[in-house]
Every structure is written in structure tokens, then in C-alpha cells.
Amino acid sequence: MGAKKYIVDLSDEDRKTLEQFTSTGEQRAQENTRARILLKADDGLTDATISEHVGCHPQTVHNTRKDYTERGLAAIHRRKPDREYERKLDGNA
């Protein structure tokens, strides 16, 4: 298998933020899982190993890595802030 396409390299500040995020226990479980994935990915673990430690599918690990490289720490939140939805009904319907 080739080199990883999406490399997670956390700065010290990002690592502190994620560690604090996971230690408080006040966030949603999915966000907590993605934060733990990023911390373990920064430690150099493989996707399969991370998925075993965190308890998720390896594709979730891959998607989290990809989102982090594209959006930064905002990747722990599932929805992108620029999502727009078309209305199914208008005021007349």
C-alpha cells in the first residue's frame, strides 16, 4: 500500500484543544470520536489500528483525516458551515 494521502500533523495548540475537547465530556459522541481519531492519527497510527482503538469503521478514520486536511479543526463538526438547502415547500404550498 502507498503512502497516506491525507496526513494529520497537529500543532501544539491544536493538540491541546483536542485533548481538552475530549476530556470535558460535554460534546456529542461523534465529535468526541473524531477528535480522538485526529489525536491518534497525529501519533502515527494506521487507520485500522485507530478504528480498533476508537471503535469505529476504518472509512470513518479516512474521512476524518480528509476533512481535517481540507477544513482544519472544524472537521470535528460534521456539517460544513456553507451548506444550503433548497426549500421543498414555499409559503404558497
Domain span at 43: 12-76
Q: Which of 33, 35, 42 is nearest to 10 (CA)?
A: 42
pLDDT tens-digit series, residues 50-66: 999 999 999 999 999 99
Q: pTM of the prediction?
A: 0.78
The reported pLDDT for the residue numbered 29 is 87
31 located within any domain: yes
* Number of independent structural domains in the chain: 1
81 located within any domain: no
The reported pLDDT for the residue numbered 92 is 75
6 located within any domain: no
28 located within any domain: yes
92 located within any domain: no
Handedness of CA 81, 20, 70, 53 (dihedral sign): negative
Q: List Cβ neighbours of 32 (8 Å cut-off, separation of 6 or more).
A: 21, 22, 25
Q: Which helix (H) or strand (E) holds 30?
A: helix 29-42
Name residues of the chain where pLDDT drops below 70: 1-3, 79-83, 93
pLDDT tens-digit series, residues 64-73: 999 999 888 8
Q: At what angle do helices 29-42 and 12-24 cross, to 10 degrees?
A: 140
84 located within any domain: no
